[in-house]
Structure 1
Amino acid sequence: MMRGVNRVVFLGRAIRSDFATVSGISSGATHQQLPQFTLYGTCSNPSSHWLSQKAVDHLRFSSPSIAHSVAGIVRYSSASATSVAHDDHAKETLRAEGVLPKDVVLYQYEACPFCNKVKAFLDFYDIPYKIVEVNPINKKEIKWSDYKKVPIVTVDGEQMVDSSDIIDKLLKRMHPDYDLNADEEKRWRGWVDNHLVHVLSPNIYRTVPEALESFDYITTRGNFSFFERLTAKYSGAAIMYLVSKKLKKKHNITDERAALYGAAEQWVDALKGRKFLGESNPNLADLAVFGVLRPIRHLKSGRDMVEHTRIGRWYSEMEQAVGQCSSIDA
């Protein structure tokens, strides 16, 4: 089994559906005519955000080349022995039955939270996969595909897109009888996309130092050239710091940390004393929450969240259940 180093990644997909409003762009605007606003503007989940031309123009005090570059870049306790043994046996059974996919390639942005949601699923099921890091400026790595967002996964040559759809299809291959419409699990998977992610960006970019810390993670782990890395860290952090204030207003957030802590506590309450929402083993909702939180775990916002809420124990249990990253770079 191929295992790599467990990766620390960063998330910001929360700002995707917001920028059409923040930038004054109607939902029907043609995407090809607008520069992408956020690093996650091409993450494959419901809506997209775009940087208004006015915002790009503000960058031209530095130089046209920086403005162009930034416009592209910024779019850019442990488990019981019985439970672990049962989980490992189930995975070995899947391997023996030959239902685990054999050739999996994930096209991603290292910092994309929804790419990390897919990775949490693959890691939990010990499915080896190769990673192709996509450059957010030219996206040359996915020029072969008509679908221009990430994550894209190819499974034995078959293309799959959209994080939730990828997970659903892979799970159905392994467990044809799995009920994807189970009320509790489905409800909390939706909560991740429709609520949890929206409190993250205002926290990640809450202060200038936090914005710089976040972009330092982005630029050192993503597929950037030296110039792109340099301009993204400072210009991108400045933009996102300002935009986060508008996101607070849009989502009626008065206190960023209180909103983050509240979401964490809401999730813990949903567990109702259970180890995982899926009882003795994580289900898809557990993996979704863990996947989108894993990128911020070692940023200041994530450290504060673990320190000031009850989510730390569940998170530690999930780290052990999911294990190390099963990927190798392609």
Structure 2
Amino acid sequence: MRWLALTTSACLSQAAYLSYKHLEQRKITRTRSWFSFVASNSEKKEMVNIQLPLRRIKENDKLELIQYATCPFCNKVRSYLDFYGIPYTLIEVCPAFKPEMKSLTVKKKKVPTVRICEATGTETVLQESSQIISLLHSYQIDSKSSETFSSLAVHFRQITENSDDQIAKYTIKNYGLDNQEKFRKELEWRKWADDKLVHVVAPNIYRNFAESIETFRVITAKGNYGYDAYWAKPLTFMATWFGSTFMCFVIAPRLKKKNKLNENVRQSLYEHVNEWVAEVGEKKFHGGDSPNLADLAVFGVLRCMEDMEAFLDMLEFTEIGPWYGRMSKLCSKNSKQTHFRQTSKQS
């Protein structure tokens, strides 16, 4: 009986490995096609009207984004910062110990977290992706320069105290009356990205065991799993094999059932993506000639899947490619990420 169990385990492991290698080779080929597509689109002289906010963040104000590289909510915030060319320091958190978050003054050590150190010495710590984006945008379009990060943080803390109000975190304080229709549509699709789109991500990237292993290889390659610390390799190994098993066989099925996704979860991903493509229509972006906050929210959620099989399937079997390519080009071009701060080396 023991030999049967060992033989079965060996066969399953070998099957998973071969399936993973097949996916890996297929991914390499398709990734090359994707980058070729982006490059060819980049060569086209398209005029994109980027309507930058009226107010820029002060040069002496320091902004840090504390994140997990493959977190969809972190990618939403990063997409906003990149598109608007806001200088920031990116701090990748080690999920096992979170030493990068020990100095934070907030109780909950969660990502994304944005820490803003103003030249006056005031420190503001922000959490919850949609609220972070709303606060930053409220600051940037404040043409009278009457708001500070700390005053806006107080404002958003007050209006979001009622947990039943699901709209407050999407409000932009300095939108004028002439922008109300724009705000309504923008809010509707920002909320859709949080309530609908994000929930199809995990069941798709952990769809089966081979894909789950591939996903964790991407996560550990992009994330902070100790870098060159002595415990980095054991942590990476455990995250890849135990994490992929747990996510594939426990979490993904629960999320699939909870969010009432199709039996074939890829189909749910395609349906949601096609819903967004239909909303954008013939325009370059949801915001018209320039991306709005809805564009950045949807792009951020989908961006977290880059280099994964689900992402390549999405590009192949939906019409999202042209819009996604434009968004990727703009965010990469405008990004002012100052440097990638690695802190776990010394841990």
Deviations 1:176-201 (A, max 9, x none): 23369611110100111111011111
What SS is found at the alignment partner of 1:281? coil
User: Does structure 2 conserve the Cα–Cα contact (< 8 Å) formed by 1:205 and 1:241?
Assistant: yes
CA distance in 2, matches of 1:108, 1:246: 25
Instruction: Indicate the SS of the match to 2:284.
Output: coil
Q: Do residues 273 (structure 1) and 282 (structure 2) align?
A: yes
Which residue of the partner structure matches residue 80 of structure 2? 121
Residue 222 (1) aligns with residue 219 (2): no
Q: Kindly indicate whether residue 126 of structure 2 is the aligned counterpart of residue 160 of structure 1.
A: yes
Q: How does 1:171-320 map to 2 (within 5 A)?
A: 171-176=137-142, 177-178=174-175, 182-224=183-225, 225-243=232-250, 244-253=252-261, 254-320=263-329
Normalising to structure 1: TM-score of the pair?
Answer: 0.70
Shift of 1:100: 7.1
CA distance in 2, matches of 1:239, 1:270: 36
Partner of 2:136: 170
Once the two structures are TM-superposed, the CA of residue 300 in structure 1 deviates from its matched residue by 0.7
Q: Which amino acid aligns with 2:336?
A: S
The code of the aligned residue for 1:190 comes to K
Quote the Cα distance in structure 2 between the aligned partners of 1:183 and 1:230.
46
Deviation track 1:64-86 (CA, whole Å, cap 9, x = no partner) reads xxxxxxxxxxxxx45986743x4
Partner of 1:49: none
**Structure 2 length normalisation: TM-score?**
0.67
Q: Distance in 1 between matches of 2:325 and 2:253?
A: 31
Partner Cα distance (1:282, 1:275) in 2: 8
Change (3 A) 1:314 1:169: same
Specify the code of the residue in structure 1 equivalent to 2:140.
M
SS at structure 1 position matched to 2:115 = strand
Asked if the contact 2:218/2:307 (under 8 Å) is kept, the reply is no
Q: How many residues align?
A: 249
Helix, strand or coil at the partner of 2:86: coil
- Report SS of the residue matched to 2:304: helix
2:159 aligned partner = none
* CA displacement, residues 5-59 of structure 1 (integer Å, 9 cap, x when unaligned): xxxxxxxxxxxxxxxxxxxxxxxxxxxxxxxxxxxxxxxxxxxxxxxxxxxxxxx
Q: C-alpha separation between the residues in 2 aligned to 1:221 and 1:184? A: 34
1:249: Cα distance to partner? 2.1
Q: Does 1:329 align with 2:340?
A: yes
What is the distance in 2 between the residues matched to 1:183 and 1:171? 15
Q: How many Å apart are 1:101 and its aligned residue?
A: 7.5
Is the 2:55–2:139 contact (alpha carbons within 8 Å) kept by the matching residues of 1? Answer: no
Check the 8 A contact 2:277/2:320 in 1, yes or no.
yes
Gap runs ≥5 in structure 1: 1-76
2:69 pairs with 106, 110, 132, which one? Answer: 110
Q: Deviations over 1:135-162 (max 9, x none)?
A: 2122121112223111111122321111
The 1:131–1:293 alpha-carbon spacing in structure 2 relative to 1, beyond 3 Å, is: same
After superposition, the Cα gap between the structure-2 partners of 1:228 and 1:204, relative to the gap in structure 1 and judged at 3 Å, is: same
- Determine the C-alpha separation between the residues in 1 that align with 2:59 and 2:99: 29
